[in-house]
Amino acid sequence: MSETYAKSAVRALEGDMVVAEAMRQINPDVVAAYPITPQTEIVQTFSEFVADGRVDTEFIAVESEHAAMSACIGASAAGARAMTATCGAGLALMWEVLWCASGMRCPITMAVVNRSLSAPLNILTDQTDMMGARDAGWVQLFAENHQEVYDNALQAVRIAEHPDVLLPVMHGLAGFVLGHTLGRLEILPDDVAKQFVGQYKPSHSLLDINHPTTFGAYDHWDYFFEHKRQQWEGMNNALKVISEIGQEFGRLTGRYYGFVEPYMLDDADVAIVIIGSATGTAKVAADRMRANGIKAGVLKIRCFRPFPPQALADALKGRKAVAVMERSSCFGGETSPVSAEVCSALYQRSLPIKVVTYIYGLGGRDTVPDEFCQVYRDLLKIVDTGVAEPIFRYLALRDY
């Protein structure tokens, strides 16, 4: 490559620290946050930055996650760049005001250190929290590794504040697996990171007393629908903006981002579609299958909201069977949140690919390469027999 990239520092940080470090560089005007395992290190570390005067941020140590989001909405409406971070139960407690944030077009950004939802109580990772918020009008990104945690945190600000989008962004990272483990990553110099995220220029502000604005008006049947449509447009526009900013970030760092990331997929017969930190394990499994002459590949989804059906269909076109890995417990559908999107994308484009769904890794259960290899072997059997049933399966689950 002929391009010259910004000179970055190589660091080893825990995932939560990566988020805090990105927040330090972003230097938001207001952070309102509440501690919850396994997100706590973000709040603690950022509090130290505030206490040491390393950021200009006013930090509000609120009394709940609902209050965290409520304060962020007030701050954002007042024209501030506002951020928070949470996970699991905290995201669930925020649920009502997630919709207020997006409906009021507040470009708040939030790291979600993915954690399961009670009951039973479990503090470890799965993606049920963000899947529960998937329809709340927030852009949703997921990271596979520490580098992506950092890169998503910076890009999230640009995506959210883009005038064609003006929607909040949440970006997920696996609790403990990424949040509490050390990972290698490259961190941009502060000035380069600051330059990339730029200044927030709000179109309206609660503090603009010369142009008084009513925020959060009561909307009846006569306008509510049109306002929701505008939100839909913002979400659709996000597809273009996410792509543009992913390219701009690539020109800066050498790390280009899109909606999905294919791995060994071009000639693959069987593929795993997956989100988040277990992608690396699936890649190892694909390598092993390839070593045995099996054409196996992986498609990682980075951007779940807005969902990128065309990118997904383009990547999966020509595969014979696909396993959608679902790390969430969303009950009652024929498949699952991710799988339903995949099936829709393929069906609408008349791609005759067999699709099965595997629920895996709930409540922090580790998934090892052998188990993904078994998924590939299951897919090969489906290809051989032409029979996909059962289309809903559990991976590495004890059978009582």
Q: Which residues bind other proteins (CB under 8 A)?
A: 29-30, 32, 56-58, 60-64, 66-67, 70-80, 82, 96-97, 100, 104, 206-209, 212-220, 223
- The H-or-E segment that residue 100 falls in is helix 88-103
Nearest-approach distance from CB 169 to other proteins, in angstroms: 18
Dihedral sign for Cα 72, 76, 77, 78, please: positive
Burial of 324-336, coded b for 16+ CB within 10 Å and e otherwise, reads bbbbbbbeeeebb
Nearer residue to other proteins within complex by CB, 30 or 156: 30
Nearest-approach distance from CB 159 to other proteins, in angstroms: 21
* Sole residue written with tokens 């706590």: 40
Nearest-approach distance from CB 210 to other proteins, in angstroms: 9
Residues 323 and 341: their CA atoms lie apart, in Å, by 13
Nearest-approach distance from CB 37 to other proteins, in angstroms: 21
Nearer residue to other proteins within complex by CB, 118 or 213: 213
Could you tell me which of 349, 326, 155 has the C-alpha nearest to residue 243?
155
Nearest-approach distance from CB 86 to other proteins, in angstroms: 15
* Sole residue written with tokens 């339903």: 340
Cα angle at 180 between 141 and 84, to 5 degrees?
Answer: 50
Nearer residue to other proteins within complex by CB, 210 or 350: 210
Nearer residue to other proteins within complex by CB, 106 or 285: 106
Contacts of 220 (CB under 8 A, 6+ apart): none
Nearest-approach distance from CB 100 to other proteins, in angstroms: 5
Q: Is 9 exposed, middle or buried (0-12, 13-18, 19+ CB in 10 A)?
A: exposed
Nearer residue to other proteins within complex by CB, 215 or 392: 215
- Give bridge partners of residue 114 from the DSSP assignment: 174
Strand pairing report for 109-114 and 82-86: parallel
Nearest-approach distance from CB 81 to other proteins, in angstroms: 9
DSSP notation for 153-188: HHHHHHHHH-TTT---EEEEEETTTTTTSEEEEEE-
Nearest-approach distance from CB 66 to other proteins, in angstroms: 7
C-beta neighbour count of 214 within 10 angstroms: 7
Residues 168 and 161: their CA atoms lie apart, in Å, by 8
